[in-house]
Amino acid sequence: MDEFKDFKEHSVAEFFKKNRQMLGFSGKIRSLTMIVHEFVTNSLDACEEAGILPEISVEINELGKDHYQVTVKDNGPGIPKTHIGKALGQMLAGTKFHRYIQQRGQQGIGASACTMFSYITTGQPTKAVTCHNGKKLTARISMDFKKNKPVVEVIEEQDTEESGLTVISEYKDVRYERSNYGVFEYLRRTALTNPNAIISLLEPNSEKTLFPRSIEENPKRPFEIRPHPLGITTHDILEFAKHSTETRLSSFLQNAFSRVSAGKVSELRDLAPEVNFRKKPGDLTWAEAEKIVEAFGKVKWIAPATDSLVPIGQQQIEASFRNIFNPDVLVVTERSPKVYRGGIPFVIETAIAYGGGVSDANKKGELMRFANKVPLLFDAGGCAITETIRSIDWKRYNIRNFEDEPIAVLVNVVSVHVPYTSAGKQAIANEEDLMAEIKFAVMEASRGIQKFISGKRKANEIATKKKVVSRYIEQLSADLASLTGEKKEKLSKKLSSIVEDKYVTMKDDEPETTERIEEEKDESEGEA
């Protein structure tokens, strides 16, 4: 009996076709949200990289039970004819997976996954209209799953002055609902962290919502960085060396990795004397690469460049929150850049809004998770952000029950490589360094909320006491007038003045919690 008669090779497209839940396509509402998520993030990245202020429209039409047509249109640079098929119909093809640069997408899977999902649920290809460099191309795109190759049928090609990309696709086994996990909520949160964009949504019931732009300029563009030596494995260095055009190993190390100078190469020579640093990089052996990686671990390196990271920014977050929530109080914090496993730089941004519009929107204990400005609506239970927020003792900040308070917490993880737990990119792995920074950032913002709540409660207490005491002024002034012979009106005015002075003084006193706030600040800074 031949045990290997059924042995076959399979493409990555076939794998994900069978395991679509790994891409986030599980559940009808979630699947529709993930489709919009993939196309909108691609549009935002494309517009910003081209220096264009994003204008994105999303239209969802109901065609039948759990059957919808999704149209996403942007004003970006479009996609050239030579790349449209691979961009929308081939797994692991794109501009993102191989680059050390902060982007919303990372893997080159998202858009082609949507094409796949459309095709396997409706049998219909995805229609794409791309306007790029004066040419307008309309095409139908599907996939050859066995080869992981796009199948492109060009419908029309003509001249145009427009730019941008429109994708129109059909899906079954999906559902539109206005819920905390639906398309509307996803776009609301996207608008919150991308104030430079105009985003519109036309829902199946023909209701149109516009999320306006509140910042009239794009954020500064992140730039690509080289990998840091501390994040390199033996296999990595051999792969880099194989494709290097350098003639010497020493120059290859300086040009392929960040923070490697001629002086550092000299240190590596001393630490790995058995390696010939004059040889061609392509001739490097596994044993020699192991010695270099071992030497990397002994050298004292400057941390990776962190100015390649572009957070949302305090002013932008404040503008967005005022525009969408208009809370009674808003505290925004941005921690200094840090480095996690393998020398990958990251920044944590936090915003906490309390009261006002948060109450009006009936939001209680709302946690909004983001990675590189992208909302993470699903898999909250397995995310480092959620776990960290749950670990905080909110009572220390006068928040008696987080789930019942009119509070909204935003946490944005910014990095050239976000450690997602799956290809669906909806939860962040429990990296200790990340979780520690998230905790410190939230604690820092919470102290500002604590001061506000303390002041508000004290003001309410003072107002209540003043009201109670003021009730007796009329009776007391009448009794004193009968005893002293003074005019009742004069006594009443004097007593009112005494009460007013007393409670104004109380209002100006420092909150009782100030000392504890400062102690806790010192504590968190010490832990950091």
Q: Is 200 left (phi over 0), alpha (psi -120 to 50) or beta?
A: beta
Segment 17-58, tens digit of pLDDT:
666 666 767 889 999 999 999 899 989 988 988 999 999 999
Query: What's the pLDDT score for residue 98?
Result: 40
Element (H, E) at 60: strand 55-64
Give the C-alpha separation, 48 to 404, whole Å: 38
If DSSP codes are grouped into helix, strand and coil, which group holds residue 29? helix
Among 218, 200, 217, smallest CA distance to 209 is for 200
Give residue 343's pLDDT band: very low, low, confident or very high (50, 70, 90). Answer: low
**Out of 138-147, 208-217, 437-446, 466-475, least confident range:** 466-475
| Matching fold, domains 229-296 and 314-447 | no
Handedness of CA 380, 381, 384, 386 (dihedral sign): positive
* Integer Cα distance of 153 and 137 in angstroms: 11
| Separation of alpha carbons 231 and 340, rounded Å | 10
Instruction: Answer for the pair 22, 423: CB distance below 8 angstroms, yes or no.
Output: yes
DSSP string, 253-275: HHHHSTT--HHHHHHHHHH-TTS
Give the residue extent of every domain in the chain: 12-211, 229-296, 314-447, 451-527
Residue 331 has pLDDT above 90, yes or no: yes
| Phi and psi angles of residue 511, each rounded to the nearest 5 degrees, phi first | -60, 145
Angle between helix 286-296 and 234-242 (nearest 10): 120
> What Å distances lie between residue 397 and 122, 201, 351, 394, CA to CA?
52, 38, 15, 5
Model pLDDT, residue 528: 44
Q: What does the pLDDT read at residue 312?
A: 86
How would residue 458 be classed by pLDDT, with cut points 50, 70 and 90? low
pLDDT at 313 over 70: yes
Q: Residue 357: what pLDDT?
A: 83
**Residue 387 and residue 177: Cα distance in Å, rounded?**
27
CATH T-level topology, domain 314-447: Ribosomal Protein S5; domain 2 (3.30.230)
- What is the average pLDDT across 258-273? 92
Give phi and psi for 160, each to the nearest 5: -160, 160
Instruction: For 100-148, list the strands marked E by DSSP.
Output: 126-132, 135-144
- Which span out of 14-28, 137-151, 217-231, 269-283 was modeled with the highest average pLDDT? 269-283
Q: Specify whether the CB–CB gap between 158 and 130 falls below 8 A.
A: no
Kindly report the number of other CB atoms within 10 A of residue 495's CB atom. Answer: 18
Q: What average pLDDT does range 313-327 have in this prediction?
A: 84
Mean pLDDT, the chain, whole residue set? 83
Q: What's the mean pLDDT in 375-383? A: 89
Domain with residues 229-296, CATH architecture: Orthogonal Bundle (1.10)
Tell whether the model's pLDDT for residue 515 goes beyond 50. no
Query: Which neighbouring-strand residues pair with 333?
Result: 350
Bridge-based pairing of strands 407-415 and 366-371 is parallel
Residues 34, 24 contacting (CB under 8 angstroms): yes
- Asked if 126 contacts 141 with a C-beta cutoff of 8 angstroms, the reply is yes
Report pLDDT for 456. 66
Look up the CATH architecture of domain 12-211.
2-Layer Sandwich (3.30)
Dig out the tokens for 49 from the structure.
């990289």
HSE (CB half, 13 Å, CA atoms) of 351? Answer: 26
Helix and strand numbers (H, E) in the chain are 16, 14
Spatial CA neighbour of 237 closest among 303, 281, 274: 281
Question: Residues 177-211: pLDDT tens digits?
Answer: 998 899 999 999 999 888 899 999 999 999 999 99
Band of the pLDDT at 315, cuts 50, 70, 90?
confident
